A and B are shown apart, each in its own frame.
Chain A
Amino acid sequence: MRIEQGDGRSGHRTLRTVALVLGGAAALSGALSGCISVNAPDKPIVIELNINIKQEVIYRLADDVKQNIESNPEIF
């Protein structure tokens, strides 16, 4: 009984492996047959990193940045 159960389990496992391999092959062949060509853009890709800056922070800093120009005019 125990041996049969063990065989049954391994049989399930084999089926599952076969299914996975078949699925993978199907996905691969699908990807190969439906080729998509991607062209590199001629303009550089600009990632907007300033999107997370909050307006309230900008307003809080507004006076200090104006003072900064008066204090260090040679770098502006």
Chain B
Amino acid sequence: MAHASNPKSRRRAIAGAMILALATAALPLQAQQRDPAYAAARAAGQVGEKTDGYLGIVGASTPELRALVDDLNIKRRANYTERARAQSATLEEYAFTQGCVLILRTVPGEKYQAPGGTWQTRGTGAPERDSRCP
């Protein structure tokens, strides 16, 4: 009763709760963002989404780009393996389906691989995808 009637302490309690909520929300958000080097390479069209669900280097390769792409592809493969098992699908089936969706979610200017294997720049329209893609 005394606590609720005191506007000062109530404001302090609300502020405290908000800070706590922000701090707990910020931790996973920070971990889930794209690595800045990866985000930059995507935006510059140096890496692109392949039809098989993995990343590829589009132009000239550098050791830095290779390390970046390899690291993400190893993580993707581990993730696909786990999810494919849960879905009773093969690694290739899962990875290919993921590739379909990842290509669809590229933004204009980013690179993706067309069904024929060529690198394309995503425009404003729909990307060229395999006929089996959902």
Q: Residue A61 contacts which of B31, B94, B105, B117 (CB distance < 8 angstroms)? A: B94
Contact A50 B100 (CB under 8 A): no
Bound-state Cα–Cα, A56 to B67, Å: 35
Q: Does B59 contact A (CB under 8 A)?
A: no
Q: In the complex, which residue of chain B has the Cβ closest to the Cβ of A46? A: B117
A53 within 8 A of B: yes
The size class of the interface chain A forms with chain B is 20 to 34
State how many angstroms separate the Cβ of B99 from the closest Cβ of chain A.
9
Measured CB to CB, the closest approach of chain B to A36, in angstroms, equals 27
Instruction: List residues of B (88-125) whose CB comes within 8 Å of A's CBs.
Output: 89, 92-94, 96-98, 100-102, 105, 117
Interface positions of A (Cβ within 8 A of B): 46, 49-50, 53-55, 57-62, 64-66, 68-69, 72-76
- Decide: A69 and B52 in contact? CB cutoff 8 A: no
Q: Please, how many angstroms separate the alpha-carbon atoms of A46 and B114 in the complex?
A: 13
Please report which residues of chain B, range 1-52, place their CB below 8 angstroms from some CB of chain A when the two chains form the complex. 31-35, 51-52
Contact at A74–B32, with CB atoms within 8 Å? yes
